[in-house]
């Protein structure tokens, strides 16, 4: 079954890069997502990658995927105080088109210090 693990806390200084890590266990083809949750709010989709890709870049965000180690990372360049939030990694294995649920990690709390 699916299992997603994340480190719980990350603290960085404004202007530095942040790297949030995630590991997943499912061995089939899978979509991997990053969501952001601000206090008291729902989840905002940041980006996603399919397991046949190694990297995806979208403005300040870079996603790196190491398929051999089942390790996913989200790099945020030039981190700002507005980036302070909880970041969730989620996976959705593609198994004959019959799996629709997202499995989430527990989230990484990113704190950006001025």
Partner 1 sequence: DAGVTQSPTHLIKTRGQQVTLRCSPKSGHDTVSWYQQALGQGPQFIFQYYEEEERQRGNFPDRFSGHQFPNYSSELNVNALLLGDSALYLCASSLPGQGTDTQYFGPGTRLTVL
| Contact range with partner 1 by CB under 8 A, out of 9-17, 57-65, 76-84, 92-100 | 92-100
Q: What are the strands of the beta sheet with 4-6, ordered from one edge?
A: 4-6, 18-24, 71-76, 61-66, 55-58
Q: Confirm or reject binding of residue 7 to partner 1 (CB under 8 A).
A: no
Burial tier of 45 (Cβ tally within 10 Å: 0-12, 13-18, 19+): exposed
Nearer to partner 1 (CB atom), residue 85 or residue 90? 90
- Rounded to 5 degrees, what are φ and ψ at 57? -120, 135
Scan residues 58-87 and list those touching partner 1 (CB under 8 A): none
Candidate residues 3, 16, 17, 45; the one interacting with partner 1 per rule CB under 8 A: 45
Q: Confirm or reject binding of residue 51 to partner 1 (CB under 8 A).
A: no
Q: Confirm or reject binding of residue 93 to partner 1 (CB under 8 A).
A: no
């Amino acid at each position: 079954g699916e299992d997603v693990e994340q480190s719980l806390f990350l603290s960085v200084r404004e202007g530095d890069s942040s790297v949030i890590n995630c590991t997943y266990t499912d061995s089939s083809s899978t979509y991997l997502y990053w969501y952001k949750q601000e206090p008291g709010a729902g989840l905002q989709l940041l980006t996603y990658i399919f397991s046949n890709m190694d990297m995806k870049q979208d403005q300040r965000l870079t996603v790196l995927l190491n398929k051999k180690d089942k390790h996913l990372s989200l790099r945020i360049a030039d981190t700002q105080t507005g980036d302070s939030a909880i970041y969730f990694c989620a996976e959705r294995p593609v198994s004959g088109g019959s799996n629709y649920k997202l499995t989430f990690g527990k989230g990484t709390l990113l704190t950006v210090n001025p």
